[in-house]
Structure 1
Amino acid sequence: MSAINEKAVNGTQLQRTHKKIYRHLMPLLIVAYIISFIDRTNIGMAKATMSVDIGLSATAFGLGAGLFFLTYAVLEIPSNLFLTRIGARRWIARIMITWGILSCGMAFVTGPTSFT
């Protein structure tokens, strides 16, 4: 029983650890969340000019946006399961890299077929 008490973390050490984590991790997460929000709402803002430029009908836009948000919602749970297995550092880095690649891929949209 004494070995367990000796290894127990006291409250001040735990608070210092939490503060250190919050100082280093929270700014990155806040910036990533803001950029993610802008990225998700940007498609609605771009609809007006994009529809004319690439000949996108309202149906094709609705299908593309719907598929995006459906996939986004369905893959959230598996993503969090992988995060616990792989580790937050590597998984968030992988998400950011994939997100950047897919965002760059949107530059190659030339019509309704490539949009959906």
Structure 2
Amino acid sequence: MITALLAVSIVLGVGGMVSANEPVVWGTFTQQDCEPKGRGGCRSIGVWVSDDSTIRKENIYLDGWPPDPDGSVRAGYRPHGFNNDDENNIVHVAATAHGWIWAPWILTAYLAGVIVHYAIKWRPPARTRTQE
């Protein structure tokens, strides 16, 4: 199971690196609703409009911190590339706008550490030679 997650995180990391030069379009997200989460809080849903008003996305999710008291926040949208925002129907606040590049590598390093830890922990004990 962990090996499968490691493989997926590597694929996401390589995919993110391959499409790292894809442009991020900046605009304003305005919250229209808040979808309840399982453990409390909510997930912002709203409208995102690019700064030049050429792209408008409705019923799109916000990745990151909740909007300002007026219900709006600056957010980025990456319409093309591997695992893009158009396919995922999401926009990102500035702090998480490039998370698709670094997050899979953090997960990869963590999972590799877990695998090494358990490989060392579960290795058979060293056999000692007995003299006859």
Taking structure 2 as the reference length, the TM-score comes to 0.27
The structure where strand makes up a greater share of residues is 2
Q: Which has the higher contact order (CA 8 A, sep 6+)?
A: 1
